[in-house]
Amino acid sequence: MKERYINPFTDFGFKKIFGEELNKDLLIDFLNELLKGEQSIKTLSYKKTEHLGATEIDRKAIFDLYCENEQGEKFIVEIQKTKQKFFKDRSIYYSTFPIAEQAEKGDWDFGLKAVYTVAILDFTFDDEDRDKTVVTHVQLMDTKKKEVFFKKLTFIYLQMPNFNKSEMELETRFDKWLYIFKNLPKLQERPQKLQERVFEKLFTIAEIAKFTPTEVEAYEESLKTYRDLKNSLDTAREEGLNEGLAKGLEQGIVKGLEQGLAKGLDQGLAKGRTESQRQMAEIMLQNNEEEEKIARYTGLTIAEIEKLRKKI
């Protein structure tokens, strides 16, 4: 059955839902539910998403969404489609831009407004996925006292593959937001549990049949990129699994079946994932995509992408 609603993990879909001025209330509602108990956002203003370093040779940062509330607090909101070796490092690096831009000329007491980085992930941090954590909330902590040391820097990671509630199990508004992220392109009707006005608006703007021809074309291109990446990774995982099983069995004869299987699986999956990342990067390079965007989609480093560019 043809999809009725857009996929929010595509660039077009994510920005259609959250990145347009007319739909700002959707982003406010999502962030307020995510930060319930520590934030109550009344208004948001969109800020430019491309940020340059202090000098020409410094790395730049391109955010999916970058916003500021009525109190001057900053919000970076991103989707991440694939596992990236240094993704946590990158999210920390990105947070330095809204921090640094608060510096004032002349006398300044270094007072900072809060910075929030929200990452919606189409993967999990742990390949073995033991604890099924959906929301990872990170702040600077005094490790001895086990207390938050600095409340103005917050990182929140949503590991969407770990969210598996059915419609009947949805209890909170935040549950409903997560359900939408996980299931929107699979739905043909708005579920009974999602009858609030904010979701009525979301389903209206997410309906592909109501797009202009230009929007349909842009969405289909964005969806193709997402599917190519996903198919490439799925194929790599399958090939890596098969190779890992074979290698694990071979090693298991000598060192023990259990140890050999574990090691072989890890090596095979890692090799398959790396190869798929390179294949996707080559496709995007041939389409003249920016290196920063390729890094975000594939998880490769800029240096690895530059090396591939020279090879091509």
**212-263 pLDDT per residue, tens:** 999 999 999 988 888 887 776 656 556 555 666 566 555 654 554 455 556 6
Cα gap 276→83, rounded to integer Å: 12
Position 120 scores a pLDDT of 94
Residue range 140-163: mean pLDDT, rounded? 94
For residue 70, give the amino acid letter.
E
In three-state secondary structure terms, 176 is helix
Position 234 scores a pLDDT of 59
Is residue 225 within 8 A of residue 10, CB to CB? The reply is: yes
Position 55 scores a pLDDT of 47
Whole-number Cα distances in Å, 275 to 10, 229, 235, 239, 271: 22, 12, 10, 10, 6
285 membership: H or E segment, kind and range: helix 257-286
**260-276 pLDDT per residue, tens:** 556 655 665 566 667 77
User: pLDDT grade, residue 24 (50/70/90)?
Assistant: very high
Q: Where are the domains of the chain?
A: 11-210, 214-311
User: pLDDT grade, residue 304 (50/70/90)?
Assistant: confident
Task: Using a pLDDT cut of 90, give the percent of the chain over it.
Answer: 51
For residue 280, pLDDT over 90 is answered with no
Strand duo 147-159 + 135-142: pairing: antiparallel
How many other CB atoms are found less than 10 A from the CB of residue 30? 24
For residue 141, pLDDT over 50 is answered with yes
Q: 175-194 in b/e burial notation, b at 16+ Cβ within 10 A?
A: bbbbbbbbbbbebeebbebb
How many other CB atoms are found less than 10 A from the CB of residue 214? 8
Average pLDDT, the chain: 84
pTM: 0.74
Residue owning tokens 């999809």: 3
φ/ψ of residue 172, rounded to 5? -110, 165
Residue range 82-111: mean pLDDT, rounded? 87
